[in-house]
Amino acid sequence: MVVISRIRLQRKGLETLLSPLEADVLKILWTEKKVRVRDVYGRLKGKRKVALTSVAVILDRLHKKKFVTRSIEVGRGGYHYIYLPKITRGDFENSVVAKTVDRLVENFGDVAVNYFYERFARKKAKAG
Protein backbone atom coordinates (compact mmCIF):
# COMPACT_ATOMS: atom_id res chain seq x y z
CA MET A 1 0.00 0.00 0.00
CA VAL A 2 1.24 3.46 -0.87
CA VAL A 3 2.02 5.87 1.95
CA ILE A 4 0.66 9.32 1.20
CA SER A 5 2.04 12.23 3.16
CA ARG A 6 1.12 15.13 0.88
CA ILE A 7 -1.02 15.56 -2.22
CA ARG A 8 -0.44 18.52 -4.55
CA LEU A 9 -3.80 18.89 -6.30
CA GLN A 10 -2.52 21.66 -8.57
CA ARG A 11 -0.35 19.05 -10.35
CA LYS A 12 -1.46 16.16 -12.53
CA GLY A 13 -0.85 12.42 -12.52
CA LEU A 14 2.01 10.97 -10.52
CA GLU A 15 3.33 14.44 -9.77
CA THR A 16 0.45 15.01 -7.33
CA LEU A 17 2.46 12.77 -4.96
CA LEU A 18 5.98 12.67 -6.37
CA SER A 19 8.58 15.06 -7.68
CA PRO A 20 8.81 15.25 -11.49
CA LEU A 21 12.08 13.27 -11.42
CA GLU A 22 10.64 10.60 -9.10
CA ALA A 23 7.65 10.25 -11.43
CA ASP A 24 9.91 9.87 -14.49
CA VAL A 25 12.04 7.26 -12.72
CA LEU A 26 8.98 5.24 -11.67
CA LYS A 27 7.62 5.33 -15.23
CA ILE A 28 10.91 3.85 -16.44
CA LEU A 29 10.79 1.15 -13.77
CA TRP A 30 7.24 0.21 -14.74
CA THR A 31 8.26 -0.30 -18.37
CA GLU A 32 11.68 -1.90 -17.82
CA LYS A 33 10.82 -3.90 -14.67
CA LYS A 34 14.46 -4.42 -13.54
CA VAL A 35 17.09 -1.67 -13.83
CA ARG A 36 20.39 -0.36 -12.54
CA VAL A 37 20.97 3.30 -11.73
CA ARG A 38 23.00 3.68 -14.93
CA ASP A 39 20.11 2.23 -17.02
CA VAL A 40 17.69 4.82 -15.64
CA TYR A 41 20.25 7.57 -16.11
CA GLY A 42 20.72 6.52 -19.74
CA ARG A 43 16.99 6.75 -20.40
CA LEU A 44 16.62 10.13 -18.65
CA LYS A 45 19.66 12.04 -19.90
CA GLY A 46 18.16 12.46 -23.38
CA LYS A 47 14.97 13.99 -21.95
CA ARG A 48 16.29 16.18 -19.16
CA LYS A 49 19.49 17.49 -17.67
CA VAL A 50 20.20 15.12 -14.78
CA ALA A 51 23.28 13.78 -13.02
CA LEU A 52 23.92 10.09 -12.38
CA THR A 53 24.17 10.83 -8.67
CA SER A 54 20.74 12.50 -8.71
CA VAL A 55 19.22 9.37 -10.24
CA ALA A 56 20.90 7.25 -7.53
CA VAL A 57 19.50 9.53 -4.81
CA ILE A 58 15.99 9.40 -6.32
CA LEU A 59 16.06 5.59 -6.53
CA ASP A 60 17.24 5.42 -2.93
CA ARG A 61 14.43 7.79 -1.91
CA LEU A 62 11.85 5.65 -3.76
CA HIS A 63 13.27 2.61 -1.97
CA LYS A 64 12.88 4.30 1.43
CA LYS A 65 9.28 5.22 0.49
CA LYS A 66 8.78 1.51 -0.32
CA PHE A 67 7.81 2.15 -3.96
CA VAL A 68 10.69 0.00 -5.23
CA THR A 69 12.74 -2.94 -4.01
CA ARG A 70 16.41 -3.47 -4.62
CA SER A 71 18.95 -6.23 -4.60
CA ILE A 72 22.70 -6.32 -5.09
CA GLU A 73 24.33 -7.97 -8.11
CA VAL A 74 27.99 -8.45 -8.82
CA GLY A 75 28.91 -7.29 -12.29
CA ARG A 76 31.55 -5.60 -14.31
CA GLY A 77 32.99 -2.86 -12.14
CA GLY A 78 31.85 -4.32 -8.83
CA TYR A 79 28.55 -4.37 -6.99
CA HIS A 80 25.39 -2.74 -8.36
CA TYR A 81 21.92 -2.18 -6.97
CA ILE A 82 19.17 -3.63 -9.14
CA TYR A 83 15.83 -1.86 -8.69
CA LEU A 84 12.38 -3.31 -9.31
CA PRO A 85 8.96 -1.68 -8.88
CA LYS A 86 7.15 -2.95 -5.81
CA ILE A 87 3.68 -2.48 -7.31
CA THR A 88 2.25 -1.94 -10.79
CA ARG A 89 1.23 1.49 -11.98
CA GLY A 90 -2.44 0.48 -11.83
CA ASP A 91 -2.11 -0.77 -8.26
CA PHE A 92 -0.23 2.40 -7.31
CA GLU A 93 -2.94 4.64 -8.76
CA ASN A 94 -5.76 2.58 -7.20
CA SER A 95 -4.02 2.77 -3.83
CA VAL A 96 -3.68 6.55 -4.09
CA VAL A 97 -7.37 7.00 -4.98
CA ALA A 98 -8.48 4.62 -2.20
CA LYS A 99 -6.34 6.36 0.43
CA THR A 100 -7.48 9.81 -0.72
CA VAL A 101 -11.18 8.92 -0.67
CA ASP A 102 -10.81 7.17 2.70
CA ARG A 103 -9.11 10.24 4.15
CA LEU A 104 -11.85 12.54 2.78
CA VAL A 105 -14.55 10.33 4.33
CA GLU A 106 -12.65 10.19 7.65
CA ASN A 107 -12.25 13.97 7.75
CA PHE A 108 -15.59 15.08 6.30
CA GLY A 109 -17.90 12.11 6.94
CA ASP A 110 -21.38 12.45 5.50
CA VAL A 111 -20.52 15.58 3.51
CA ALA A 112 -17.94 13.63 1.49
CA VAL A 113 -20.20 10.60 1.08
CA ASN A 114 -23.12 12.75 -0.08
CA TYR A 115 -20.90 14.60 -2.52
CA PHE A 116 -19.67 11.35 -4.08
CA TYR A 117 -23.21 10.00 -4.28
CA GLU A 118 -24.55 13.15 -5.97
CA ARG A 119 -21.55 13.41 -8.29
CA PHE A 120 -21.88 9.83 -9.53
CA ALA A 121 -25.67 10.04 -9.75
CA ARG A 122 -25.29 13.09 -12.07
CA LYS A 123 -22.69 11.28 -14.15
CA LYS A 124 -24.94 8.22 -14.45
CA ALA A 125 -27.91 10.41 -15.44
CA LYS A 126 -25.85 12.06 -18.21
CA ALA A 127 -24.73 8.69 -19.56
CA GLY A 128 -28.20 7.13 -19.45
Which tens digit of pLDDT belongs to each residue from 111-124?
A: 999 998 998 888 77
Residue 3 lies in a domain: no
Query: Does residue 51 sit in the same domain as residue 113?
Result: no
Query: Does residue 24 sit in the same domain as residue 67?
Result: yes
Residue 45 lies in a domain: yes
CB neighbours of residue 1 within 10 Å? 11
Name the CA dihedral angle for 69, 2, 56, 24, rounded to a multiple of 10 degrees: 120
**38-84: pLDDT as tens digits:** 999 999 998 899 999 999 999 999 999 889 999 999 988 899 999 99
Query: Does residue 64 sit in the same domain as residue 107?
Result: no
Q: Which comes out higher in pLDDT, residue 31 or 9?
A: 31
Q: Three-state SS for 8? A: coil
Domains identified in the chain, total number: 2
Query: Does residue 105 sit in the same domain as residue 71?
Result: no
- Please state, in angstroms and rounded to a whole number, the distance separating the CA atoms of residues 47 and 120: 39
Residue 68 is part of which domain span?
11-86
Query: Does residue 32 sit in the same domain as residue 81?
Result: yes
